[in-house]
Chains A and B, each alone.
Chain A
Amino acid sequence: MESIMKMVDVNHHRIKTNGIWMHVVEKKGQGQFVLLLHGFPETWFSWRHQITHLANHGYHVVAPDLRGHGESDSPPSPSSYTMLHIVGDLIGLLDHFNQQKVFVVGHDWGAAAAWHLSLFRPDRVKGMVAIAAPFFPRDSNIKPSQFFKSFGDDFYIPQFQEAGRAERSFEKYDHLTVIKKFLSINKTDLIVPPPGMEFIDFLETPSTLPVWITEEELQVYAEKFRDSGFTGGLNYYRAMDLSWELEAPWQGSKITVPSKLIVGDKDIGFEIFTKGYILSDVQKELVPDMEVVILDGHHFIHQEKPQEVSDQILSFLNNLTI
């Protein structure tokens, strides 16, 4: 594990932000600052390819372990994981590095964090790239947990709501297997287990790994989750309704920062759900300055197609730098 980690040439820091200790890695180029935000169930390590590539092109790259993950603090209560908390952490991080206005790249929950950083503090964001997760309009009448139940009571998001439930179901497997199941997801329809079956049981454990990741790399994640547990990461899902309640001031608000959305055409639910939405008028009105790029790949596309995704990020950053 140590050898894999050392292969990613970065500096490790522990910073105090918004009342928590946050572990961040940094690779310093002379140029502009880019913040990379991972998703679930991952850590900064998710960005190992992009960190090197972006730094080689001169960017100053910082990738934190988000609250609840890796070596950053994990406050116990779900109510400490609203987008207000996460963005608060990131503002503290930017202030720590003395950065007024930055580029942000996010994947999965990290993309949600990037969208909300852009929504709450557009004055601090030059431009953002979201991978796999678009920005959805807030429904003033329907809470997120209710909305996701419409995909099925056993859709993963409703299953993740109950404190402790997902954690108990994961315990049947070693941490490596849990990570392996998630990162190998290649189902393209919305994953809804049959009634009474836990999400993690429904995910296949592949007999061979996807070509784009090694056992050693998966062990890096597994080791971190062995130390932190999964509750921190799961708490983001459990805070969705509270976040929604607190986001009432932004009902109908547009994202005004220049944006790029990168999605894999084999990502979960792409054909039946995401594709229609991201090309729709609703999306165009909500995020008017957004370029949409659809690549051949699955959910963890920045690890599956690292060169392509890095190039897409770079072209976006370079265009805004002119």
Chain B
Amino acid sequence: METIQHSTIKVNGINLHYAHITPTTTSRPILFIHGFPELWYTWRHQMLHLSSLGYRTIAPDLRGYGDTDAPVSPSEYTVFHIVGDLIGLIDELGLDKVFVVGHDWGAIIAWWLCLLRPDRVTALVNMSVVFSPRNPVRKPIESMREMFGSDYYICRFQPPGEVEAEFARVDTALIIKKFLTTRKPGLLCVPKEVGFGGNPDTQITLPSWLTENDVNYYADKFRRTGFTGGLNYYRALDLNWELTAPWTGAQIKVPVKFIVGDLDLTYNTPGVKDYIHKGGFNKYVPFLQELVIMEGVAHFINQEKPQEVSDHIYDFIKRF
């Protein structure tokens, strides 16, 4: 972990913190994009492993997280803002093209990086969240409400401040533990009466792949920043839909490897399995070269199976 360096630069109007390992000045770069509710830290295993193989690994805290700035309004968390931050980052580092690795919200951002600036991406390894084509007439939140109900977590995340208050009823470390250790392969629906915090006395046994130190790293950061930055990504979903009209029907035109655990709640969302296995996914990602379904693995795949994921990444990017 000592080999991981930390820097902060000003890009796209914000101060962006990123972790990195640079073996040599000519090492080929990999940009890692984390999701919710995580940080650069989720990529620690992959960074160490891939840098030992000669790659320059770069993992920012995205806008709204950790040691990066967190603007207040959800309207500053569109995919255009986040991709703008990342383009600013790779421009500042003097990089022409990068490999990209994404997970959860980071996978969504990675899909959009490929759609908006395919010229900057050599190849993509994405995890957990498939690319969803834009429906030209239906907005995302109303679709989700109709399909999955108002207790569906993305619907619950919408009203500013509400879920923050639920999180605040329990210790931040417990929130982190609950999210990272969840293994229920179904829709995440949490009624208000239950609350996202749940019972503050809940004891959670940590799996072998997650230590108290790991939990505390996340918890310390989120205790300081709160969760509003991360939640704002969800609150910008309808605005994203409005602004991404130009890419209705557009395809991802970079080589892709996609990895998901079969217990992941995203894989088990109604419609997703058919989309992945019956041709929908391939239609929008025509250069989907490899698809990996990891048995018995849940949502936080790169932390649950760090070596396998590192190997999968290397196995793919070494071809380019």
Question: Which residues on A are within 8 Å of B, measured CB to CB?
Answer: 18-19, 82, 84-85, 87-92, 95, 117, 120-121, 123, 140, 245-253
A250 near B117: Cβ-Cβ < 8 Å: yes
Q: Which residues of B contact A120 (CB under 8 A)?
A: 116, 246-247
B91 near A252: Cβ-Cβ < 8 Å: yes
Q: Per-residue CB proximity of B278-314 to A under 8 Å, as 1/0?
A: 0000000000000000000000000000000000000
Interface locus among B75-83, B123-131, B217-225: B75-83
Q: Which residues of A contact B269 (CB under 8 A)?
A: none
How far in angstroms is the closest Cβ of chain A from B221? 25
A140 near B245: Cβ-Cβ < 8 Å: no
B248 near A250: Cβ-Cβ < 8 Å: no
Partner of B12, one of A92, A121, A248: A248
Task: Sort A-B residue pairs by CB-CB distance and give the 9 closest, nearest first.
Answer: A248-B84, A88-B245, A249-B83, A246-B80, A87-B246, A249-B116, A84-B243, A120-B246, A18-B245
How far in angstroms is the closest Cβ of chain B from A277? 23
B245 near A85: Cβ-Cβ < 8 Å: yes
Q: Does B72 contact A (CB under 8 A)?
A: no
Q: Does B87 contact A (CB under 8 A)?
A: yes
A88 near B116: Cβ-Cβ < 8 Å: no
A88 near B246: Cβ-Cβ < 8 Å: yes
B83 near A251: Cβ-Cβ < 8 Å: no
Q: Does B88 contact A (CB under 8 A)?
A: yes
| CA–CA, A95 and B137, complex, Å | 14
Q: Which residues of A contact B12 (CB under 8 A)?
A: 140, 248, 251
Docked complex: B127-173 residues within 8 A CB-CB of A: 136-137
Known contacts A140-B12, A140-B88; decide if A247 and B245 are in contact (CB<8 Å).
Answer: no
- The count of chain B contact residues (Cβ–Cβ below 8 Å) is 26
How far in angstroms is the closest Cβ of chain A from B100? 14
User: Closest residue of chain B to A246, judged by CB?
Assistant: B80
A248 near B91: Cβ-Cβ < 8 Å: no
Question: Which residues on B are within 8 Å of A, measured CB to CB?
Answer: 12, 78, 80-81, 83-85, 87-88, 91, 113, 116-117, 119, 136-137, 242-250, 253
| CA–CA, A82 and B78, complex, Å | 14
| CA–CA, A140 and B81, complex, Å | 13
| CA–CA, A134 and B147, complex, Å | 46
Q: Which residues of A contact B87 (CB under 8 A)?
A: 248-251
Give 13 pairs: A residue, B residue, CB < 8 Å, sorted on A. A84-B245, A85-B242, A87-B246, A88-B244, A89-B245, A123-B250, A123-B253, A246-B243, A247-B80, A248-B85, A250-B116, A251-B88, A252-B91
| CA–CA, A253 and B78, complex, Å | 19
Q: Which residues of A contact B84 (CB under 8 A)?
A: 246-249, 251
| CA–CA, A85 and B242, complex, Å | 8
Q: Which residues of B contact A121 (CB under 8 A)?
A: 246-247, 250
| CA–CA, A268 and B317, complex, Å | 52
| CA–CA, A251 and B87, complex, Å | 8
